[in-house]
Structure 1
Amino acid sequence: MRFASLKALLAAGLVAAALPAMAADYTLSINTALTVDDPLYRGLESFRDAVAQRSDGAIEVKLFPNSQLGPDEDVLEQARAGAPVAVVVDGGRLANFVNELGVLGAPYLASGYDGIRKVVTSDMFEEWVRKLHDTSGHQILSFNWWQGERHLWTAGPVQKPADLQGNRMRTPGAPVWVETVTAMGAVPTPMPYAEVYSALEQKAIDSVEAQLPAGYGSKLFEVTKYLTKTGHINLITGLVTSASWFDSLPQELQTVLREEALKAGDVASYGTRDKLAEIEAKLKEAGMTIEEIDVTPFKDATAGVYEKLGYGSLRDSLQAIAKQ
């Protein structure tokens, strides 16, 4: 196997001459809607490099920012069909296959990274990982890729849900996102994130809800004027690939992928946390008005989303885990 052959070469001092002529045994192409400037992308680069090193070159990871392989939903379907692809995706999209995963995108579940990390590394979450593998053909490598809290990017000021009446707001199409935006008072308008800038520019939509790194990276400050810090969704995402492709790998390479994905998720998440203040300052320099508001009206307005989607008791269990 590749592992053994390269270790033998290393021992013989021949690896420098041998590596250029050897192709990887396996290739994994990772798609993300984010730009190369996003802190999370740094985590993907860390994952790529760590997997190459730890697998002795047996696995080559290729990165495709800006949705180069297509919308997240399309890449999920490719993975489901067995293609060696992966995508950085939220739980809302995966709820179509395992309903419990949708709760990760529910409003005001947790704040910050450390609490939600406890949830996505818990025994309960690992049960959902196995269920997703068996029912949909997807394999979660890790789900600790925190992108920050999502806020409102609008043309005018927003203080309360009533201010969003009739506002066409882009959001992902998953039920938990749609219900959250509806409860906040806006009109949910699902579309791929790559289309948001032009849709705002052409006034096909009025606003978008997004986390700071993504909004800054896609230059939303050029097509919106106000950033209202609602923090309504604490965006935790995962690196998801094909279950059949993953199962075809030798056990030791499966272990490499899962362990290195968890480590890289921390790189991405703490990198995101450390960049938020800097990004906010840059948005102000670009002319954005940043509003700190009392989010209580939004919390109250969205509280019913849990019960509507059947997540009431699950919310209590997960919030307890997050506080441990």
Structure 2
Amino acid sequence: MKLHRAVLRACAVMLVSTVAMTGAMTGAASAASYELNINTALTTDDPIYKGLERLRDRVAERTGGELAIRIFPGSQLGKDEDVLEQARAGANVAVVVDGGRLAVFVPEFGVLGGPYLVSGFDQVRKIVTSPMFDAWNAKLKAASGHTALSFNWWQGDRNLLTNRAVTGPADLAGVRMRTPGAPVWMETIRAMGATPTPMGWAEVYPALQQQVIDAVEAQTPAAYGARLYEVTSHLTKTAHISLITGLVTSAAWVDSLPAEMQTALKEESLAAGDYASGLTGESIVALEADMASKGMTVTEIDVTPFREATAGVYELLGYTELKQTIDAMLAE
């Protein structure tokens, strides 16, 4: 088994090296001494992508072009889990990823995807710039060889996209709903009344079109970018999860950079996360209005039944004390 994992990691490094060489051959970042390839499942019009462009440009400016960043939208480098494995092997790749996918290495990260954990970006930022989060990141480096450059990439609140009206958990009985495969996401959707169905983001549109799934839960910018208003008819604003994501890469690769370059990369990653999160907040009202103009019914509901239904998820996954710690932090 260990040999098998070693072979996979070696192949991952070779794959990313090939991608980098291809980029160099086409003239991309050929003058740079160091290069970071960033993967995201999102489209180029998403606010998070705009933040990545800002990061690319500011890092190039601060390092005199010595550190080049290349962005791969639409999961061009593979699924998030695959890119995390490449980073674990020491490859020069990064991925915009939620805490649930890191929980397999450090369980505490999973709480970031918990239901109704925060309200708004200010609370998100308070958590992910805290000494508590820094301790999680140190554990991540020791456990898997990853490091989060920043984790303040807020993608908005996740809502329900269905083909029938939803007012409470009972309306989701028997509904096959796509969600990421991390336990905190799966248990949240199950507690909300639906049947969680994990699959890659790129598969969602055809799966809805072919009725492989009945519904999806997602944040508004991603739902709009994926044109889900074409294959669903109702957007119900449950805001059940605030999507907190970060830019995660290889700790060994970061450590190989000159000290001043490491500082520039981390500082600009945090600044870009703030920028992208601000764009996300600004975009949501306009995007929902546009989806409504295309025929989607956008509905505000009383989320109390969903909040009550999902309250037990923290205890189920062993996050009771951690949730209390976060609640106390946010109340300060």
TM-score range, shorter-chain basis?
Answer: over 0.9
- Equivalent-residue separation in structure 1 for 2:30 and 2:251 (angstroms): 26
- Alpha-carbon distance between aligned partners in 2 of 1:199 and 1:146, rounded to the nearest angstrom: 26
Out of 228, 240, 257, which is 1:232 matched to? 240
1:198 paired residue number: 206
CA RMSD, 1 decimal: 1.2
Tell me the alpha carbon deviations over residues 201-224 of structure 1, each in whole angstroms, 9 at most, x when there is no partner: 000000000000000000000000
Displacement of 1:252 in angstroms is 1.3
Distance 1:297 1:79, change over 3 A: same
For normalisation by structure 1, the TM-score amounts to 0.93
Displacement, 1:239? 0.2
Deviations 1:155-196 (A, max 9, x none): 100111111111000000000000101101111100000100
User: Secondary structure of 2:105's partner?
Assistant: coil
Conservation of the 8 A alpha-carbon contact between 1:115 and 1:323: no
Q: How much does 1:323 deviate?
A: 3.5
Matched residue, 1:24: 32
Cα displacement (A) at 1:311 = 0.7
Cα pair distance change 1:268/1:323, threshold 3 Å: farther
- Residues 184 and 317, structure 2, Cα contact 8 Å, conserved in 1: yes
Listed one character per residue, the Cα deviations across residues 85-134 of structure 1 (whole Å, up to 9, x for unaligned) are: 00000000100000000000000001110111100000100000111011
Which residue, 188, 195, 207 being the options, matches 2:215?
207
Give yes or no for the alignment of 1:283 onto 2:291.
yes
SS of 1:128's equivalent in the other structure is helix
Equivalent residues of 1:111, 1:149 under 8 A apart: no
Alignment of 1:1-324 (within 5 A): 23-324=31-332
Q: Please state how far the C-alpha of 1:319 moved relative to its aligned partner.
A: 2.2
Which amino acid is 1:218 matched to?
A
Matched residues in 2 for 1:48 and 1:226: separation?
A: 36
CA deviation vs aligned residue, 1:270-313 (integer Å, no higher than 9, x gap): 01001111111111111100111110110011000000111111
Q: Secondary structure, in 3 states, of the residue corresponding to 1:260? A: helix
Q: Distance in 2 between matches of 1:77 and 1:316?
A: 32
Task: Assess if the C-alpha contact under 8 Å between 1:117 and 1:322 holds in 2.
Answer: no
Paired residues, number: 305
Task: Please give the secondary structure, in 1, of the residue aligned with 2:41.
Answer: coil
Give a deviation string over 1:47-104, Cα, whole Å, max 9, x none: 0000100011111000001111111111111111111000000000100000000000
Percent identity among equivalent residues? 64
Q: Which runs of 4+ in 1 moved over 6 A?
A: none
Letter in 1 for 2:65: G
Decide whether the 8 Å contact of 1:116 with 1:322 is kept in 2: no
Unmatched 5+ stretches in structure 2: 1-27
Contact 2:29–2:68 (Cα < 8 Å) also in 1: no
CA distance in 1, matches of 2:295, 2:224: 12
Q: Is the 8 A contact 2:205 2:226 kept in 1?
A: yes
SS at match of 1:189: strand
Q: Give a deviation string over 1:202-252, Cα, whole Å, max 9, x none.
A: 000000000000000000000000000000000110000011111111111
Distance 2:253 2:49 in 1: 23
User: How far off its partner does 1:321 sit?
Assistant: 2.1
User: Partners in 2 of 1:186 and 1:21 — Cα distance?
Assistant: 46
Partner SS state of residue 271, structure 2: helix
Q: Distance in 1 between matches of 2:295 and 2:75?
A: 28
SS state at 1:232 partner = strand
